[in-house]
Amino acid sequence: MLELRNIAKMVGGEYHIYPTNLTLKRGTLNVLLGPTLSGKTSLMRLMAGLDKPTEGQLLFDGTDVTGKRVQDRSVAMVYQQFINYPALTVYENIASPMRIAKKDAATIDREVRRAADLLRLTPYLDRTPLNLSGGQQQRTALARAIVKNASLVLLDEPLANLDYKLREELREELPKIFALSGAIFVYATTEPSEALLLGGNTATLDQGRITQYGSTIELYRNPVDLISARTFADPPLNIIELTRSGASFLNDGKPVFDVPAHLAGIADGPVTVAFHPHHLYPMPVHDGAVRLSAKTLISEIAGSESFVHVDFAGNRWVMLTRGILDIEPDRQIDIYLDTRHLMAFDANGRSLGAPQQAAA
């Protein structure tokens, strides 16, 4: 078990990581989700022992390892920018941590070939890194981390440089690899979709702070605040400031739509309402969908999906829909909102209610 007790990192008198408490159990996959510069890599470096915390303690299985060198810890780390030994073959790069650990030749050969097969590296075992593509070099670094059999494995956006097809395959395979190990895996990403695919637990980060930690799907369905909800949204959340008055949400004193059942407990007054772009539709999806009138701004076609940007009551929203939907700008169109998916937040950004799990 890895415990962060009030761990903090200051640089030049400013916090890069604010005091953080976090407990990660063995055999778990833990995703650090946040935008660039949110603190993911800084937090991982503290976990690994590459940086010393300004405050707090780091405990592993109850032992204080705060001042312990990274070389003296059972840690493996893979960065977005791959690091390999240029003079060694792929085989020897993968084998290197096991040779340092003085494993026998048969074990080394078996584990190298198992990892190489998993990461599609078998044809390249005799090559040196300079004779590999960027994706192949990253896979070599990932294979080396897998065979090290470390107690803590830190993966800092490890799939970012891989081609789309291999990235999708590995996203499916990695949770299986993690499940077979008793190690603690920490995986940093900027992509909410990647966190959802990997599953496990997720910590959302914002400007050096962990805003929420727990089951990945639970965080997605029930963010505790607007920052966490925004972190877990790609494309960005659609947001509107409304007023609860009786059974209705009002905009500039005019009813917009009825308050859905899961938000019935909200008191009258100002409220921030948010929802994901894929919960806004160009046609009614069920009898309860609310019809709204909006002006189109721009349409973006991305293969099998379309992103239609609209203006509703001075708020810029995005509608994400399947297929090609090319609508010229400045058209007044009907859009349909499934209010079962609405989230609501108070003036301080704290959650007042989240979508029903069955509908989220």
Domain assignments of the chain as residue spans, ordered by start: 2-224, 238-353
Q: What is the DSSP letter of 352?
A: E
- Give the containing element (helix H, strand E) for 174: helix 164-179
Name the stretches of the chain with pLDDT < 70.
Answer: 181, 356-360
| pLDDT tens sequence across 131-180 | 988 778 888 988 888 888 888 999 998 887 777 777 777 777 777 777 77
Q: What is the pLDDT of residue 324?
A: 85
SS3 content of the chain, % helix, strand, coil (to 5): 30, 35, 35
Q: Measured between alpha carbons, how far is residue 287 from residues 53, 238, 338, 359 in Å? A: 55, 22, 9, 14
Sole residue written with tokens 């897998």:
146
Query: 116: closest CA among 86, 95, 87?
Result: 95
End-to-end CA distance of the chain: 32
What is the token pair recorded at 166? 């291999």
User: Measured between alpha carbons, how far is 241 from 220 in angstroms, rounded to an integer?
Assistant: 21
Fold of 238-353: OB fold (Dihydrolipoamide Acetyltransferase, E2P) (2.40.50)
Q: What is the pLDDT of residue 359?
A: 44
User: Measured between alpha carbons, how far is 338 from 331 in angstroms, rounded to an integer?
Assistant: 22
Q: Three-class SS string for 188-253?
A: EECCHHHHHHHCCEEEEEECCEEEEEEEHHHHHHCCCEHHHHHHCCCCCCEEEEEEEECCEEEECC
Q: What is the pLDDT of residue 167?
A: 78
339: helix, strand or coil: helix
Measured torsion, CA atoms of residues 135, 141, 147, 151, in degrees rounded to the nearest 10: -120
Asked if 296 and 304 touch (Cβ cutoff 8 Å), the reply is no
CATH 3.40.50.1970 fits 2-224, yes or no: no
DSSP letters of 113-168? HHHHHHTT-GGGTTS-GGGS-HHHHHHHHHHHHHHHT-SEEEEESTTTTS-HHHHH
- Spatial strand order in the sheet of 209-215: 75-78, 152-156, 184-189, 29-33, 201-206, 209-215
pTM of the model: 0.86
Asked if 293 and 332 touch (Cβ cutoff 8 Å), the reply is yes
Q: What is the pLDDT of residue 358?
A: 40
User: Measured between alpha carbons, how far is 75 from 69 in angstroms, rounded to an integer?
Assistant: 11
Measured torsion, CA atoms of residues 44, 35, 23, 25, in degrees rounded to the nearest 10: -80
* Contacts for 324 with CB less than 8 Å, ≥ 6 apart: 301, 306
Query: 142: closest CA among 77, 187, 70?
Result: 77
